Structure 1
Amino acid sequence: MPLRRLGWLLLTCAVAAVFVSLGCWQLRRADEKSAWLADWDARSHRPAVDLATLDPAAAGSRYRRVELRGEYRAGHEFLLLNRMRDGRVGIEAYTPFVPAGGGDWLLVNRGWYESPQARPKTPDAPPAGVQTIRGLLAQPANPGLRLGTIEAAGPWPQPVVWLDAPAAAHALGHGVLGAVLLLDAGLPGGFVRDWHPDPGEFGPERHRGYALQWFALAVTVVCTWIVLSRRQRRRDSLPEARTSPSA
């Protein structure tokens, strides 16, 4: 094989290998997210357990259904701004819940309600008195960049664009558990609460679609090399043109 053709073959193999590698990576990501979604579904449908029997911050506790007895710390809500839903902008209301037996407070996500960005609406107050709440353990929504600060001691309700346990504890002046509760839709005192897992920007099917595209590109590169190589061999096999001697 001529050296030039060998060079094009090696380049074709290298490019095809890169495309196949990218396709395989997309398939792995699809499998990981499928497993994560299946795990979420299994955990979220188990019977509720007493929160005191779990470590809320542990990865194994994520999306477990739990229950807790106590009362809401009304008037101390965090309003997580810029939460989009069906093309509408709104707020997720996080209200502290004080366990009946004492200890760190639990932030309860009472759901989403529509509200303009310029003048956030104050949510309706949660039910008063001692009660039992249930829901899924999760982490506060991660908005990416943590712009602005969360002020200690209010003012309340406090609009925020990000939220975590240390910041909430600083603002409330009391210990806060390292997870939040996504309040069950059937309990009073909440807003829109059709909780579902968030696999990120892409779900498993999107990853599989991208994998197919990468594999198709690898096949296209190889087929292109084969076609061009055959054409070159045909040209090389033709008899050389002879020039007539000048008269």
Structure 2
Amino acid sequence: MKILGSRPALWPTVFTIPALVVLVALGTWQVQRLFWKLDLIHTVEAGMAAPAAELPAAPFDVDSWNYRHVIVRGAFDNAHEFHLLAHSRNGNFGYQVLVPFKRSDAPGWVIVDRGWIPTGKKQQDTRREGLIEGETTVHGVAHKTWAAGPFTPVNDVPRNLWFYPDVAAMARLAGIDGTVPPLLVDADTTPVPGGWPQGGQTRVEFPNNHLSYAVTWYGGAIVLCFIYVIWHRKRAQEEAAAAADADAGGTPQA
């Protein structure tokens, strides 16, 4: 081959082709993730800029209410409280308190994320004042739930320890009839009696390093190709030099 200077060597080629495929695939995946992240950021910015509105009755298009300021009225089912493993906005370890909310402004239920508590406040007896009873209004941000990732542990239901918000499972455990929308309503920073849980934990800042990751993977693919070509050219030069030496050594002397 003219580009390589010689025929491709077996083992370098066997190594290079799969490695090149992997590097290009990873780079392409990061490009896809980049566009997904940009779309998410646009959705969040547009939703957060919209005025607060009453959450409609289910069923409704959850995507159109993703990261929207909402208002819901009803009552908490404090007997069924779920603890989602999480860090506070300051990075402290603890839980998000997820509570079923029986709506009075529309038929059905929704899961409200009341906010963050430290590990020492997991038992309700330690924050009895914050267990709001009766009719109340929640101002917050609605957003879609997320599914478990490949490395996410299985929710430990007997210990009431959740690693991702499985709304359907929570609804079953709470004995709720009917479908609960696959979203959470994150309560805002409105003060809670006793101070716990602490609302306003919605995260709307998303790191976006996918472009640099894509450049890294594609750059690795280019470097690998460069090394492959240079190695073969050097090999071709060495073979040509060896052939020339052999020809010179075999030439009869006058």
On whether the aligned pair clears a TM of 0.5, the verdict is yes
- Cα distance change of structure 1 residues 113 and 229 upon mapping to structure 2, 3 Å threshold: same
Post-superposition shift, 1:43?
Answer: 1.1
What corresponds to 2:223 in structure 1?
Answer: 220
Matched, 1:89 2:93: yes
Deviation for aligned residue 1:34: 1.9
Letter in 2 for 1:195: T
Tell me, yes or no, if the aligned pair for 1:83 and 1:92 is still in contact at 8 Å.
Answer: yes
Provide the C-alpha distance between the structure 2 equivalents of 1:107 and 1:120, rounded to a whole number of angstroms.
18
* CA deviation string 1:91-116 (max 9, x = no partner): 21123333224622222111111115
Task: Name the counterpart of 2:202.
Answer: 195
In structure 1, the partner of 2:238 is: 235
State the partner residue of 2:42.
Answer: 38
| Count, aligned residues | 230
Q: Aligned-pair distance for 1:48? A: 1.3
> Secondary structure in 2 aligned to 1:177?
coil
2:184 aligned with 1:180: yes
Instruction: Give the Å deviation of 1:235.
Output: 2.5
2:167 corresponds in structure 1 to 165
Letter in 2 for 1:78: E
Q: In 1, distance between residues paired with 2:156 and 2:239?
A: 70
Q: Which of 101, 108, 119 is the equivalent residue of 1:104? A: 108
Pick closer, same or farther for the CA change 1:236–1:107 going to 2, 3 Å. closer
Counterpart amino acid of residue 27 in structure 1 = V
Q: CA deviation at 1:226?
A: 2.9
Give 3-state SS (helix, strand or coil) of 2:245's partner. coil
What one-letter code is carried by the residue in structure 2 that aligns with 1:138? H
Change in CA separation of 1:66 and 1:5 when aligned onto 2, cut-off 3 Å? same
Q: Which amino acid aligns with 1:177?
A: V
Q: Show structure 2 runs of 5+ residues with no match.
A: none
The letter for the 1-side match of 2:168 is P
**TM-align CA RMSD:** 3.6
* Alignment partner, residue 120 of structure 1: 122
Summarize the alignment of residues 50-61 of structure 1 with structure 2, pairs less than 5 Å apart: 50-52=54-56, 55=59, 58-61=62-65
Tell me by how many angstroms 1:67 deviates.
Answer: 0.9
1:68 and 2:53 correspond: no
Distance 2:146 2:79 in 1: 19
Seen in structure 2, the aligned counterparts of structure 1 residues 171 and 17 have a Cα distance that, compared at 3 Å, is closer
Whole-angstrom distance in 1 between the partners of 2:19 and 2:38: 29
1:145 positional shift: 4.1
Distance 1:47 1:72 in 2: 25
CA shift, 1:210, in A, is 2.4
TM-score by length of 2: 0.72
Distance 1:104 1:196 in 2: 26
Structure 1 runs not aligned, ≥5 long: 151-157
Q: Would you tell me which structure has more helix in proportion to its own residues? A: 2
Contact 1:56 1:177 in 2 (8 A): no
Q: Which amino acid aligns with 1:100?
A: S
String of CA shifts for 1:155-177, please: whole Å, max 9, x gaps. xxx83425533333333333463
